[in-house]
């Protein structure tokens, strides 16, 4: 609409004013821009609508334009070559311009723009009569331009509004797709009323119950929630605390299956006088079942490890009052502690007086292993029993000597048979002395 108005205006102006070329400059954001340009040619008036900022090579005297803008006074040069005020302007200095008319366009006391006209054929081209008609024309043009600008602003605002609305619709659609792909069920709760005011339709895919069941019946969610989780759920939906929180609780689906729901509660909000809670429900059933399965497997593994430890450190009652502990491999601190606990427990439980520690299965003895064996024998002695070490091979004995480990008063025998014979002899002697062979 404005382009058509500008084109008509420039045609009328050049034809009535007797100008060869002209420019209509409008004020936009405190800067003058060329809204329209026109030139009289062989085919009549030719109008261009560049809508661009003023450039130094434009066919107009910028000094005159700026003067009119600043003073809001009309400038009429009957002979531009003889003007002392503007003769230095680069455009006029070329000597081709004869007559210049530059008129401010004012509406309601505010500058709207500037009309600049030239005639290169004759001096005094712009007569007072033509100027008066032109001023009247520009007064009407200022009103038309304002109306056109208003329509343009409204059209632009309408386009921008539609773009914003389209952007919002696209954003909502992306958010909806994101929520659905994430398996999330949005919810909103009125804390004061103690009820869910909104539950996303995705809840039907999660639990089988329609969203209207939750919003229509304030007690429906609590009714399908596991009794042990109801109190925590009520606190989760209440106004207590403003921070975001999470909760996992069990619910009964429509088909009767017990499912786990993970709820993420957003920070506290308000709608008018009603405090609100908003959040999302997620299906946590698969994860909870996986966790339970892992716990069961870990329990099985722990039991198996305990059984392996029992088998790797067996305590055998080989005779009344005599227990045997065969050792294997390399012994570290944790193994030594475990062996000590088992051996001392067996001595106390069986009231044993002898504990035979068989090193036949120990291939390598380092300083740590030797110290663990010494500690084991000393612990046995603290319970009043006698510790006997058997099965020390020649290479193991050499290692113990080279390490400089002092076995002290620890009894050692070559074989298990010798140790058993010694224990039996001691038992016989105790019987002869009238003492029990056990404890």
CB atoms within 10 A of CB 5: 17
Q: What is the mean pLDDT of residues 272-281?
A: 78
In the numeric block, which tokens belong to residue 409? 């008063």
Query: What pLDDT was estimated at residue 312?
Result: 58
Residue 61 · residue 75 · CB < 8 Å: no
- Per residue in 10-51, pLDDT (tens digit) is 888 887 778 888 888 888 888 888 888 888 877 788 888 866
Q: Is the pLDDT of residue 244 over 80?
A: no
Cα(83)–Cα(93) distance, integer angstroms: 10
In whole angstroms, what is the distance from residue 92 CA to residue 59 CA?
A: 10
Strand (E) or helix (H) holding 77: strand 75-77
Mark residue 321 as left, alpha or beta (left: phi above 0; alpha: psi -120 to 50; beta: remaining).
left
- Given a cut of 80, whether residue 317 has pLDDT beyond it is yes
Q: Is 388 helix (H, G, I), strand (E, B) or coil?
A: strand
Per the CB < 8 A criterion, the answer to whether 83 and 106 are in contact is no
- Pairing assessment for the beta strands 354-361 and 386-390 based on DSSP bridges: parallel
Q: How many CB atoms lie within 10 A of CB 130?
A: 16
- CB contact burial 82-92 (16+ within 10 A = b; e otherwise): ebeebeebebb
Tell me: pLDDT of 320 over 90.
no
CA angle, 410 then 414 then 416, to 5°:
95
Q: What are the extents of the domains in the chain?
A: 2-154, 185-288, 313-432
Element (H, E) at 246: strand 245-252
Cα 343 from Cα 349, distance rounded (Å):
10
* Predicted confidence band of residue 161 (pLDDT cuts 50, 70, 90): confident
In CATH terms, 313-432 corresponds, of 3.30.750.24, 3.40.50.720, 3.30.300.30, 3.10.450.50, to 3.30.750.24
* pLDDT exceeds 90 at position 194: no
The answer to which of 38-42, 64-68, 123-127, 299-303 has the lowest mean pLDDT is 299-303
Ranking 68-72, 139-143, 280-284, 392-396 by mean pLDDT, the lowest is 139-143
Kindly report the three-state secondary structure assignment for every residue of 104-160. EEEECCEEEEEEEEEECCCCCCCCHHHHHHHHHHHHHHHHHHHHHHHHHHHHHHHHH
| pLDDT reading at 391 higher than 70 | yes
Compute the residue count for the chain: 439
51: left (phi over 0), alpha (psi -120 to 50) or beta: left
Position 130 scores a pLDDT of 80
Contact by Cβ (8 Å): 340, 325: no
The pTM assigned to this predicted structure is 0.41
- What's the rounded Cα separation, in Å, for the pair 87 and 46? 28
Nearest to 206 by CA among 263, 281, 279: 281
Handedness of CA 207, 213, 218, 220 (dihedral sign): negative
322-328 and 354-361 as β-strands: parallel, antiparallel, unpaired? parallel
CA 214/CA 222 separation, integer angstroms: 10
Highest averaged pLDDT of the listed ranges 47-51, 182-186, 256-260: 256-260
Give tens-digit pLDDT for 121-144: 888 888 887 877 777 777 777 666
Enter the CATH code of domain 185-288.
Answer: 3.30.450.20
Confidence of residue 268 (pLDDT cuts 50, 70, 90): low
The strand pairing partners of 356, in sequence order, are 324, 388
**Which SS3 state, helix, strand or coil, does residue 385 take?**
coil
- Whether 259 shows a pLDDT value over 90: the answer reads yes
Which of 156-165, 238-247, 346-355 is least confident? 238-247
Q: Give Cα separations from 9 to 3, 56, 171, 306 (angstroms).
A: 10, 25, 44, 101
- Under the banding of pLDDT at 50, 70 and 90, the label for residue 84 is confident
Contact call for residues 25 and 32 (beta carbons, < 8 A):
yes
Using CB atoms within 10 A of its CB, is residue 215 exposed (0-12), middle (13-18) or buried (19+)?
Answer: middle
For residues 304 and 284, the model is more confident at 284
Mean pLDDT of 406-416: 79
Residue 34: CB partners within 8 Å, gap ≥ 6? 23, 24, 25, 50, 51, 52, 53, 54, 58
- Predicted pLDDT at 373: 82
User: Tokens representing 99?
Assistant: 């007559």
Residue 410 burial class via C-beta count within 10 angstroms: exposed 0-12, middle 13-18, buried 19 and up:
middle
Q: What is the mean pLDDT of residues 60-66?
A: 89
Per CATH, 2-154 and 185-288 having the same topology is answered yes
The reported pLDDT for the residue numbered 41 is: 77
pLDDT the model gives residue 162: 86
The percent of residues above 90 in pLDDT, for the chain, comes to 10
Is 308 a residue whose pLDDT tops 60? no
Round to whole Å and give the CA distance between 122 and 167: 58
Q: Is 188 helix (H, G, I), strand (E, B) or coil?
A: strand
Provide the mean pLDDT of the chain. Answer: 81
CATH of 2-154, one of 3.40.50.2300, 3.30.420.10, 3.30.450.40, 3.30.1330.10: 3.30.450.40
């Amino acid at each position: 609409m404005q382009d058509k108005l500008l084109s008509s205006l420039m045609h009328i102006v050049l034809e009535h004013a007797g100008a060869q070329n002209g420019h209509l400059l409008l004020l936009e954001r405190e800067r003058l821009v060329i809204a329209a340009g026109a030139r009289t040619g062989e085919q009549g008036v030719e109008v261009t609508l560049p809508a661009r900022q003023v450039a130094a090579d434009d066919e107009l005297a910028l000094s005159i334009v700026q003067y009119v803008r600043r003073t809001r006074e009309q400038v009429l040069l009957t002979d531009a070559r003889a003007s002392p005020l503007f003769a230095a302007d680069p455009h006029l200095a070329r000597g081709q311009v004869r007559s210049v008319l530059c008129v401010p366009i004012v509406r309601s006391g505010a500058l709207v723009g500037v009309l600049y006209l030239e005639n290169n054929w004759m001096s005094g081209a712009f007569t007072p009569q033509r100027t008066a008609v032109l001023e009247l024309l520009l007064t009407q043009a200022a009103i038309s331009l304002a109306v056109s600008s208003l329509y343009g602003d409204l059209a632009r605002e309408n386009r921008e509004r539609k773009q914003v609305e389209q952007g919002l619709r696209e954003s909502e659609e992306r958010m909806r797709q994101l929520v659905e792909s994430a398996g999330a069920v949005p919810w909103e709760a009125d804390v004061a009323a103690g009820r869910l005011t909104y539950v996303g339709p995705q809840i039907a895919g999660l639990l089988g119950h329609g969203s209207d069941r939750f919003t229509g019946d304030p007690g429906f969610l609590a009714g399908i929630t596991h009794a042990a989780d109801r109190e925590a759920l009520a606190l989760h939906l209440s106004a207590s605390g403003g921070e975001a929180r999470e909760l996992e609780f069990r619910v009964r689906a429509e088909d009767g299956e017990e499912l786990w729901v993970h709820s993420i509660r957003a920070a506290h909000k308000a709608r008018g006088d009603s405090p609100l809670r908003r959040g999302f429900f997620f299906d946590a059933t698969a994860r909870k079942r996986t966790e339970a399965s892992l716990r069961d497997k870990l329990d099985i593994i722990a039991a198996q490890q305990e059984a392996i430890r029992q088998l790797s450190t067996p305590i055998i009652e080989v005779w009344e009052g005599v227990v045997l502990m065969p050792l294997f491999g390399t012994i570290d601190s944790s193994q030594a502690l475990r062996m000590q606990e088992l051996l001392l427990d067996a001595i106390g439980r069986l009231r044993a007086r002898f504990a035979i520690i068989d090193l036949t299965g120990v291939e390598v003895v380092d300083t740590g292993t030797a110290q663990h064996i010494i500690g084991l024998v000393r612990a046995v002695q603290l319970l009043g029993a006698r510790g006997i070490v058997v099965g020390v091979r020649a290479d193991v004995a050499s290692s113990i000597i080279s390490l400089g480990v002092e076995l002290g008063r620890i009894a050692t025998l070559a074989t298990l048979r010798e140790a058993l014979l010694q224990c039996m002899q001691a038992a016989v002697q105790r019987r002869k002395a009238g003492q029990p062979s056990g404890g």
